[in-house]
Structure 1
Amino acid sequence: MTLRPYQYVALRCVPRVEREEFVNVGVVLLCEEDGFLDAACAVDEVRLLALAPDLDLGALHRALAFVESVCRGDGSAGDVATGTLGNRFGFLKAPRSTVVQPGPVHGGLTADPAADLLRLRDVLVG
């Protein structure tokens, strides 16, 4: 079994940036050696609405769909989705002050990036 390096970021829903409270809603994983860039998301709407009753869930779901489109290289997401895997991951991991923000970049080794993406989603998002 050959292990290859990967990087990932947890995606956080930050309903009110000034409060710095967040709930993890997804993971983006890049394994360049395998040509793999994908996102796995899971939104606990009850938990999020308890934290921020006025949260626009539609906007959250649209933001996550955009992330998934960038990962897939879907040109309808704009120029950012047509770059290399590394450039797309670089865009997705860049800090921003929106309702969906990336956490710190972490790394590891994998024999199966798709399986590790789902494992990380289950561990980090629930």
Structure 2
Amino acid sequence: MQEKQVYEYSVIRLLPKIEREEFMNVGIILFSKEAKYIKVDYSIDREKLKSFTKLENFDFDSIINVLDAFKKITEGKPSGGIIASMNIAERFRWLTSERSTMIQTSRPHPGFSSNLDLTFAKLFGELVL
């Protein structure tokens, strides 16, 4: 039996109109220092997004670019810039720091898991899809 690892996760939120403070969950970042694990993924439901804003007035490509940058940073890719070269704990803390932009994250939540990939998939399914 695999030993359980401590992890933290944060929900990535899209706030189409920041001034209204309404958001929809679009992604998850999961991190385990002990396991040297960090993963992010996102999915935007365009139909759900219509209930927040008019899509013809929404810069969808800019949001995708920011979310793709989150992925590059998480994966440590050189195209993710200087933040991507940091260790995984620093990357997680940077990605989950407080922002006042259209892309924000929840405060990190802790947990235990013996299978981080399975935990990620479960959280993603429950909180994003």
* TM value normalised by structure 2: 0.93
Is it true that 1:44 corresponds to 2:24 in the alignment? Answer: no
8 Å CA contact 1:24–1:124 kept in 2: the answer is yes
Matches of 1:65 and 1:49, distance apart in 2: 22
Instruction: Name the Cα RMSD after superposition.
Output: 0.9
Q: For structure 1, which runs of at least 5 residues remain unmatched after alignment?
A: none
8 Å CA contact 1:40–1:118 kept in 2: the answer is no
Report the alpha carbon displacement of residue 55 of structure 1 after superposing the two structures with TM.
Answer: 2.1
Q: For structure 2, which runs of at least 5 residues remain unmatched after alignment?
A: none
Percent identity, please: 27
Matches of 1:57 and 1:49, distance apart in 2: 12
Match of 2:111 among 104, 108, 120: 108
8 Å CA contact 1:49–1:55 kept in 2: the answer is no
Matches of 1:97 and 1:66, distance apart in 2: 17
Is it true that 1:31 corresponds to 2:41 in the alignment? Answer: no
Report the alpha carbon displacement of residue 50 of structure 1 after superposing the two structures with TM.
Answer: 2.5
* TM value normalised by structure 1: 0.96
8 Å CA contact 1:73–1:81 kept in 2: the answer is yes
Report the alpha carbon displacement of residue 102 of structure 1 after superposing the two structures with TM.
Answer: 0.4
